[in-house]
Amino acid sequence: MAGNDYNADDIEALTPRQHLLKRLSLTLGKEGTDPNYGYSLQKNVAVREILDNAMDEIRGGYGTKVRVHMYADEHIEIQDSGRGIPTDVNHKTHESGIFMAMGRLQSGGKFGTTKSYSSGLNGLGGGASVQVSKRADIIVFRNGKRYELSFKDGEPGFFDGDDENSPFKSLKDMGKDKSYLKISKDTRKASEKKGYETGTIVRLWLNPDVFTCKKPFDDRDIIDRTKFTAFLVPKLEAEVTDDRWIIDGKPYHEVFHYPEGIISMCDYLAPSNNRLTDIQLIETTGHYTEEAPVLNNETGAVVIKPVERDVPIQVAFVYNTDENYRMNSFVNTIHTKFGGVHVKAFEQAFVKAFNDKILTMRGKIQKDHTPPIIDDYRLGLTVVLSIQQSEPTFSSQSKEELSGSENQKAIRNSLIDAFNAYIANSKNKNAVDAICNKVAEESRIRQSEKAARDAQRKASIASRSTTMPSKLVDCKFINDDKSELHICEGDSALGGLKSARDARYQALLPIRGKIINARKSSMEKVLENEEVQSIITCLGAGIGDTFDIDKMRYGKVIIDTDADADGLAISNLLLVLFWALFRPVIEHGRLYVSYPPLFEIVMKGSDKIMYALDEAELKEIETKLAAKGLEPGKGYDINRDKGLGSMQPEDARFTLMNPETRVLRVLTMEDVEPADRMLELALGKESSTRQQWISDNFDNIDDNMMDY
* Strands 280-295 and 381-387, sheet pairing: unpaired
Count of other CB atoms within 10 angstroms of residue 301: 9
Amino acid 366: pLDDT: 82
* Strands 381-387 and 302-319, sheet pairing: antiparallel
Domain 262-440 has CATH 3.30.230.10: yes
Nearest 5°: the CA angle 354, 358, 364 is: 145
Tell me which residue of 273, 418, 269, 414 sits closest to 329, measured CA to CA.
269
Amino acid 682: pLDDT: 63
Tell me which residue of 461, 483, 456 sits closest to 472, measured CA to CA.
483
- Supply the angle between the helices 262-269 and 219-232 in degrees, to the nearest 10: 130
- Look at residue 695 and tell me whether its pLDDT is greater than 80: no
Residues 616 and 492: their CA atoms lie apart, in Å, by 28
CATH superfamily, domain at 16-256? Histidine kinase-like ATPase, C-terminal domain (3.30.565.10)
pLDDT higher for 584 or 694? 584
pLDDT digits (tens, 9 = 90+) for 150-174: 999 999 999 999 999 999 999 999 9
Choose the most confident range, by mean pLDDT, from 219-233, 281-295, 566-580, 614-628: 219-233
Mean of pLDDT values over 561-568: 82
- Look at residue 346 and tell me whether its pLDDT is greater than 50: yes
User: Are the C-beta atoms of residues 666 and 674 closer than 8 Å to each other?
Assistant: no
Q: What are phi and psi of 149, to 5 degrees?
A: -155, 135
- Please, which residues bridge with residue 184 across strands? 146
User: Are the C-beta atoms of residues 282 and 307 closer than 8 Å to each other?
Assistant: no
First to last CA, the chain: 105
Residue 484, H or E segment: strand 480-489
Residues 372 and 228: their CA atoms lie apart, in Å, by 32
pLDDT digits (tens, 9 = 90+) for 549-558: 999 999 999 9
Which strands, in side-by-side order, build the sheet including 664-666? Answer: 506-511, 480-489, 554-560, 591-594, 664-666
pLDDT digits (tens, 9 = 90+) for 459-513: 777 766 678 999 999 999 999 999 999 999 888 788 778 989 999 999 999 998 7
* Strands 609-612 and 599-603, sheet pairing: antiparallel
Question: Which runs of consecutive H residues, i.e. helices, occur in 121-171?
Answer: 125-131
For 305, half-sphere exposure in the C-beta direction (CA atoms, 13 angstrom radius) is 9
Residues 624 and 88: their CA atoms lie apart, in Å, by 127
pLDDT digits (tens, 9 = 90+) for 616-674: 888 999 999 888 888 888 889 888 877 787 788 888 898 899 999 898 999 888 877 77
- Look at residue 85 and tell me whether its pLDDT is greater than 80: yes
Encode burial over 248-274: b for 16+ CB neighbours within 10 A, e otherwise: eeebbeeebbbeebbbbbbbbbbeeee
Q: What pTM was computed for the model? A: 0.69
Q: What's the pLDDT band for 679 if we cut at 50, 70, 90?
A: low
**Second CATH level (architecture) for the domain 465-596+654-707:** 3-Layer(aba) Sandwich (3.40)
Residues 519 and 533: their CA atoms lie apart, in Å, by 17
User: Are the C-beta atoms of residues 217 and 97 closer than 8 Å to each other?
Assistant: no
| Domain coordinates in residue numbering, the chain | 16-256, 262-440, 465-596+654-707, 599-640
pLDDT digits (tens, 9 = 90+) for 376-417: 999 999 999 999 998 888 887 667 899 999 999 999 999 999
Q: What percent of the chain has pLDDT over 90?
A: 57
Residue 348, H or E segment: helix 341-358
* Strands 65-70 and 237-247, sheet pairing: parallel
| Residue 434, CA distances (Å) to 105, 156, 276, 427 in order | 53, 61, 7, 13
| Contacts of 481 by beta carbon, 8 Å cutoff, 6+ apart | 555
Q: What are phi and psi of 619, to 5 degrees?
A: -65, -40
Mean of pLDDT values over 209-231: 95
| Residue 242, CA distances (Å) to 201, 223, 267, 408 in order | 17, 9, 25, 38
**Among 111-115, 346-350, 428-432, 521-525, where is mean pLDDT lowest?**
111-115
Residues 499 and 708: their CA atoms lie apart, in Å, by 33
Q: Per-residue DSSP letters for 47-73?
A: HHHHHHHHHHHHHTTS-SEEEEEE-TT
Tell me which residue of 302, 316, 296, 287 sits closest to 389, measured CA to CA.
287
Residues 27 and 140: their CA atoms lie apart, in Å, by 26
Helix (H, G, I), strand (E, B) or coil at 656: helix
User: Are the C-beta atoms of residues 244 and 233 closer than 8 Å to each other?
Assistant: no
pLDDT higher for 256 or 692? 256
Amino acid 78: pLDDT: 98
Size of the chain, expressed as the number of residues it contains: 708
Count of other CB atoms within 10 angstroms of residue 400: 19
- Look at residue 214 and tell me whether its pLDDT is greater than 50: yes
For the chain, how are helix, strand and coil distributed in percent, rounded to 5?
A: 40, 25, 35
Encode burial over 401-422: b for 16+ CB neighbours within 10 A, e otherwise: bbebeebbebbbbbbbebbbeb
Helix (H, G, I), strand (E, B) or coil at 255: strand
